[in-house]
Structure 1
Amino acid sequence: MLVKKEYLSQPQSANCTQKIFVSLIEYQTLSVDTKNLLFLSRLQATLVWTDPELGWNRSVYPFDKVILPVDKVWTPELHITNGITTTMKHSSRDLLVHSNGTVQHSVIIKAEVNCDVNLFNYPFAGDECPVAIQTWAKEGCGTELVFGQLRNVDGSHGDWSTDKVKLKYVRSDRNYILVSLSIKVTNPFITLLLPSILIILADIVSFALPLGGGERNSFKVTLVLSFTMFLIILNNLLPGDGKCSPFIRIHFCVCLILLVVSMLFSLVATRLATEGRLLFCCYSENTGNKDGKEDEEVNADMSVNQLTGSEDNSQLLRKVVNFLEALDAKTLESDRNQMFADKVDKTFFWFYLIFGTIYFIAMTCVMVKYTCAVNHFHFWSEE
């Protein structure tokens, strides 16, 4: 008899409004897409409403409950206001009807919600995003939701966890679940922050390598290239840009600048240790040729003297003394250049170490404590 009635429209009432009691909502966050600032939610809602047309007289039909096919009677439709995509399906093909017209049913809603998550503190990020539940209503007619209990189910998925959920009521057509999300620090810290910290630490320790020989310069160039490849690989893994852009992007930029500055200084310090000057000029090359010619002349004179004995011994000895004095002066100049370069190198090392330490402490404080405000209710009009 109830199936043949085919009541497929909303029950009519004097005030043109049908109240739907949502006795229980089981909420679950399935996944969080930090790249596109989206998160996927699953809600299973138990609905209770009254349809007088589905009631019967127990003196005629002595049954208190019956099961009806869900496609033969009217059921309310729920959707997520701020959801990009929302799908609702019945949890069962049947529903339960009481003799007084009370209907009990359960539906499952999956929604992809757009939420501009505050990622400024990433990977120490956490935020509260609304999931606005709405049903059909038009010019004072339609359905009105009355909420009961809310339960969070399995709040840990991937790198994010759902800490708690709360039901919030603004007015009859503006109800939402406030979902508190927080990121698990371990995985992004190991894959993002820790490599950058270790590379900077290796760059600081590389000052223990000597300036001569080129080992330090080649090592620092390798560090710069390695960090550049590291950024290229992580380009698609870093969270997306929003109003609160992740500070970790600035952190990577600063780390790359520190590595490049350290590499350039190492090259300059090597130049200081070798030549004692920063400017390139032609005098160093001419001086080297002149010294080479003097060496050749002294060696030639010594050879001629040994063979012929026609040269004056005193003149030969004078040239030998001049050669040795020039060699000693060159050695002293090289030692002075090396000492000056070592002094400059140590000064830069302490400056680099102090600046790097202060920066990492400040960066950690900003990531952990700074709060960036985001308006998550822009999908509602200002009325």
Structure 2
Amino acid sequence: MQLDSTAWIIAIYSPLLQVVVATFNCTSPTPQSLFDALEKELVRRKSHPPVQNFSKAMVISLDVTVVGILGVKEKEQALIMYLWQVLEWDIEGLSWDEKECGTNRVSILREKLWYPDIHISEFMDEDKSPITPYVYLYNTGHVYDDRPLRVVSTCKLGIYTFPFDIQNCSLTFGSYIHFAKDIRIVPSTTPEEVLRESLDVAQTDGEWELINIEIVPITLQIAVGNYSQIRLNTILRRRPILYIVNLLIPSCFLVTLDLFSFLLPPQSVDRSAFEMTLILGYTVFLLLMNDLLPDTGHETPLLNVFFCLSLALMVANLLETVFITNLHFHSSHYGAVPRWLRILVLQYLAVFVGLRPVQANRVTVSLPDQAQAVTASVISSRELHRVFGDLLPEKPADHALEELRKLSRDLQAIRLLMDYEVKGSKVSQEWKMIATIVDRLLFGLYVIFLTVSLTTILVIAYLSRFI
């Protein structure tokens, strides 16, 4: 009796076991027989997800390989990449016997199968990917879909440290309509394996290089439900050699040449002509290299600031040269230096730039000590002989007295003239000293600017190598 019950159970559940193990049988081990059987099975499974229980989420395995970085558009904030995307999933209840049908794998049109609606959220252009209509279907019901993708995605680019910038652009893979309880996306490989494979198959060696890849499974939570997604973070680094050779080095040469213009005498007209030639050359250089500089509309690269400040210093140097040249040639016609300017420049700024104002020497003309007590109006003949002794010729005393008075008036006139010249020379010397201090101050600012700029560029370039 027990044996009859066992045989009855086997007889009842035998068709169900055949459904699980082998959904269909081939009449012969030929492709035609297999495809005829598949046609009937796939048609009725195409309209709905190939699951036997709706309470169980369908698992989609995703693998992505970065084949090439085609370009980065700073103005459009876009990244163009070439990828290989591999999707894998199982059609539950579909299988066949390899010996009966003659093969364990066939290629079949993608449109013949139910296909998951996996899309990239950052996609911002029409799909111009190469058309690959076939996928692999295994005898276990496993589907293997490998296709190339040309992705134009949006990416928030930061170009402040251009040309040593590093960008982190994300690609988010997920279902467009199915919730996480219906479709769950999982990565099939680790980030290290994806990075290694991407570097091995990379076909481009352009401006950008791939330095790291991160794969992060996430869940998008919105009001209507949750979506299962995978975020692929691609970390790119710009190769700066093109911009160093074409932008940085020529600019540093011109700015250094302008720095050496301080060695020319400020009163020389050649210095002004030299400065004007440098400004013209630097302006033409910036106009020619303008296409190499990125522009995002909301962020200015630090290199652009360096160029603007360099041009501003060149213009300031030219204006300062005109100012001090004017002081050197026309300072004798100026009035006395204002007290506040004398204190600010000649006392404080002079010490700051390492100069000391030169004190003007005052020239004083005076008669001998024995003649200081003798007035020109009352000099007697006896006093005249006592003071000058044998120096006077043998002439009448009145005539000698008249000559001495005339000599005294001439000496007074000479002294007044000397005092005027000495006073004017002192004022002119103070103005020239102010010009020298201003020239030294601008030279110091120029040196500080170049030192800080070059140090900043070298530090950014050094740090970018270790990220």
Give the TM-score normalised by structure 2.
0.60
Structure 2 Cα separation of the partners of residues 94 and 241 of structure 1: 41
Distance 1:10 1:196, change over 3 A: farther
Q: Percent identity?
A: 19
Structure 2 Cα separation of the partners of residues 17 and 70 of structure 1: 22
Structure 1 Cα separation of the partners of residues 166 and 333 of structure 2: 50
Report the CA distance between 1:128 and its aligned residue: 1.9
Corresponding residue number in structure 2 for 1:177: 232
Structure 1 Cα separation of the partners of residues 333 and 216 of structure 2: 68
Structure 1 Cα separation of the partners of residues 238 and 170 of structure 2: 17
Corresponding residue number in structure 2 for 1:37: 77
- The structure with the greater share of residues assigned to strand is 1
Trace 1:218-233 onto structure 2 (pairs within 5 A): 218-233=273-288
Residue 144 (structure 1) aligned to one of 165, 177, 184: 184
1:356 matched to 2:457? The reply is no
Structure 1 Cα separation of the partners of residues 209 and 184 of structure 2: 31
1:158 matched to 2:251? The reply is no
Report the CA distance between 1:11 and its aligned residue: 2.9
Corresponding residue number in structure 1 for 2:366: none
**What secondary structure, in the 3-state scheme, does the structure 1 residue paired with 2:305 have?**
helix
Which letter does structure 2 place at the counterpart of 1:51? I
Report the CA distance between 1:155 and its aligned residue: 7.8
Structure 1 Cα separation of the partners of residues 180 and 228 of structure 2: 10
Q: Is the 8 A contact 2:105 2:139 kept in 1?
A: yes
Cα deviations by residue, 1:34-70 (Å, 9 ceiling, x for unpaired): 3333211121122222224653355753432223233
Structure 2 Cα separation of the partners of residues 111 and 241 of structure 1: 21
Residue 12 (structure 1) aligned to one of 50, 64, 77: 50
Q: Is the 8 A contact 1:79 1:88 kept in 2?
A: no
Corresponding residue number in structure 2 for 1:311: none
Residue 209 (structure 1) aligned to one of 264, 282, 285: 264
Report the CA distance between 1:80 and its aligned residue: 1.4
Trace 1:253-292 onto structure 2 (pairs within 5 A): 253-276=308-331
Distance 1:211 1:147, change over 3 A: same
Structure 2 Cα separation of the partners of residues 91 and 138 of structure 1: 25
Distance 1:216 1:28, change over 3 A: same
Report the CA distance between 1:263 and its aligned residue: 0.5
Structure 1 Cα separation of the partners of residues 276 and 129 of structure 2: 58
Residue 133 (structure 1) aligned to one of 151, 154, 173: 173
Q: Is the 8 A contact 1:96 1:103 kept in 2?
A: yes
Structure 2 Cα separation of the partners of residues 245 and 116 of structure 1: 14
Distance 1:339 1:277, change over 3 A: closer
Corresponding residue number in structure 1 for 2:86: 46
**What secondary structure, in the 3-state scheme, does the structure 1 residue paired with 2:101 have?**
coil
Greater relative CO, 1 or 2 (CA 8 Å, sep 6+): 1
Structure 1 Cα separation of the partners of residues 334 and 463 of structure 2: 46
Structure 2 Cα separation of the partners of residues 170 and 277 of structure 1: 79
Q: Which moved more, 1:216-225 or 1:335-344?
A: 335-344
Structure 2 Cα separation of the partners of residues 90 and 64 of structure 1: 27
Which letter does structure 2 place at the counterpart of 1:162? L
**What secondary structure, in the 3-state scheme, does the structure 2 residue paired with 1:276 have?**
helix
Q: Which moved more, 1:238-247 or 1:221-230?
A: 238-247
Residue 187 (structure 1) aligned to one of 242, 247, 257: 242
Q: Is the 8 A contact 1:272 1:337 kept in 2?
A: no
Structure 1 Cα separation of the partners of residues 60 and 253 of structure 2: 58
Q: Is the 8 A contact 1:83 1:112 kept in 2?
A: yes
Cα deviations by residue, 1:188-235 (Å, 9 ceiling, x for unpaired): 122222232222111111122333452211121122222233333344
Report the CA distance between 1:365 and its aligned residue: 6.8
**What secondary structure, in the 3-state scheme, does the structure 2 residue paired with 1:169 have?**
strand
Structure 2 Cα separation of the partners of residues 88 and 51 of structure 1: 29
Q: Is the 8 A contact 2:136 2:145 kept in 1?
A: yes
Q: Which moved more, 1:5-14 or 1:78-87?
A: 5-14
Q: Is the 8 A contact 1:122 1:367 kept in 2?
A: no
Q: Is the 8 A contact 1:130 1:179 kept in 2?
A: yes
Q: Which moved more, 1:3-12 or 1:32-41?
A: 3-12
Give the TM-score normalised by structure 1.
0.72
Residue 82 (structure 1) aligned to one of 116, 122, 129: 122
Q: CA RMSD in A?
A: 3.8
Distance 1:126 1:76, change over 3 A: same
Q: Is the 8 A contact 1:136 1:142 kept in 2?
A: no
Q: Which moved more, 1:181-190 or 1:18-27?
A: 18-27
Residue 112 (structure 1) aligned to one of 152, 159, 169: 152
- The structure with the greater share of residues assigned to helix is 2
Equivalent pairs, count: 329
